[in-house]
């Protein structure tokens, strides 16, 4: 391990801000930055975090642009670098995204990014172990994030009751992004049957096998879903959001249905549906539903 990376990881160990996943992601980003500075010819075996200058940041951004890294990914990396700059009391180290030429994220595209486990022509379910398969189905049927679906524990989510005796599942703060508790309604027999299958498999445990840590099972999850042809399972949340929108409004969302002029009454229904879906997905901003559903104003 290079000296600079070692010193940066010491800073991370002293400042455990955010969830486990956030911390792990931050450490990975900062380690990547050190490796890329090394590739660029900087003497990372002699540098300490306080030695970092604007030229180092500029070098990283220049490489990311050449590599075709997306604006969203670059912004995530800049967030990690700003966090480091704050912890070493050098807030001026990292310029604004505008100054660095990093454009705003393009949240709304009106492209359908959902995937459906039922499309057997694209997905080989035999490649998935029972724990991974059920986690994927939870993402599809309840709109869970990957980490939430992996850590899902029916004994907590159902409050100790059988699935057919409750009308909602409860998402534990330690499973979720930002540590936010939320509830998601149980609306159909398909969801009930899925919860029964999860309960039968794990009993009082979670969808992380008892012989694995979260990190170990995450590696298994990513390997199996990639091998099965699913890839990024976040598309299952898109599918959930789109299906819920249709249930709540009676019409397809713009990401699926294209361009349509809403009446004033329909605009109110659209807004209420988006608020409901945003709550179920665990988002605090209504705007983010545009990522999943598209926007009627986006042509």
Domain ranges within the chain, ordered by starting residue? 3-93, 107-123+233-299, 125-229
Task: Give the separation between CA 60 and CA 77, rounded to whole angstroms.
Answer: 10
pLDDT band at 110 (very low <50, low <70, confident <90, very high): low
Q: Which residues have CB under 8 Å from 200's CB, separation 6+?
A: none
How many CA atoms lie within 13 Å of 284's alpha carbon, on the beta-carbon side? Answer: 6
Write the pLDDT tens digit of every residue in 227-280. 888 877 888 888 999 999 999 999 888 888 765 788 899 999 999 999 999 999
CB atoms within 10 A of CB 150: 23
Residue 29 banded pLDDT, cuts 50, 70, 90? very high
For the beta carbon of residue 175, count every other beta carbon within 10 angstroms.
24
């Amino acid at each position: 391990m290079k000296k600079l990376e070692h010193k940066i990881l010491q800073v991370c160990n002293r400042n455990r801000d955010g969830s486990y996943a956030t911390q792990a992601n931050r450490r990975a980003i900062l380690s990547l930055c050190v490796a890329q500075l090394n590739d660029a010819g900087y003497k990372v075996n002699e540098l300490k975090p306080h030695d970092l200058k604007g030229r180092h940041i500029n070098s990283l951004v220049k490489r990311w642009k050449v590599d075709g890294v997306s604006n969203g990914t670059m912004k995530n990396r800049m967030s990690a670098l700003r966090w480091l700059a704050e912890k070493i009391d050098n807030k001026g180290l990292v310029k604004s995204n505008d100054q660095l030429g990093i454009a705003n994220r393009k949240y709304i595209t009106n492209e359908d990014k959902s995937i459906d486990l039922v499309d057997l022509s694209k997905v080989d379910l035999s490649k998935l172990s029972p724990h991974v398969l059920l986690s994927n189905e939870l993402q599809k049927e309840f709109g869970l994030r990957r980490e939430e679906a992996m850590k899902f524990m029916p004994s907590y989510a159902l409050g100790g009751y059988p699935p057919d005796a409750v009308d909602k599942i409860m998402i534990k703060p330690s499973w979720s992004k930002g540590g936010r508790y939320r509830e998601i309604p149980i609306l159909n027999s398909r969801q009930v049957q899925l919860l029964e299958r999860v309960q039968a498999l794990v009993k009082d445990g979670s969808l992380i096998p008892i012989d694995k840590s979260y990190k170990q099972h995450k590696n298994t999850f990513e390997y199996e879903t990639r091998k099965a042809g699913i890839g990024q399972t976040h598309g299952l949340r898109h599918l959930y959001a789109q299906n819920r929108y249709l249930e709540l409004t009676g019409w397809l969302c713009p990401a699926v249905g294209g361009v349509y002029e809403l009446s004033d009454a329909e605009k109110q229904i659209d807004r209420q549906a988006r608020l409901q879906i945003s709550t179920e997905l665990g988002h605090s901003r209504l705007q983010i539903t545009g990522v999943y559903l598209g926007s009627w104003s986006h042509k």
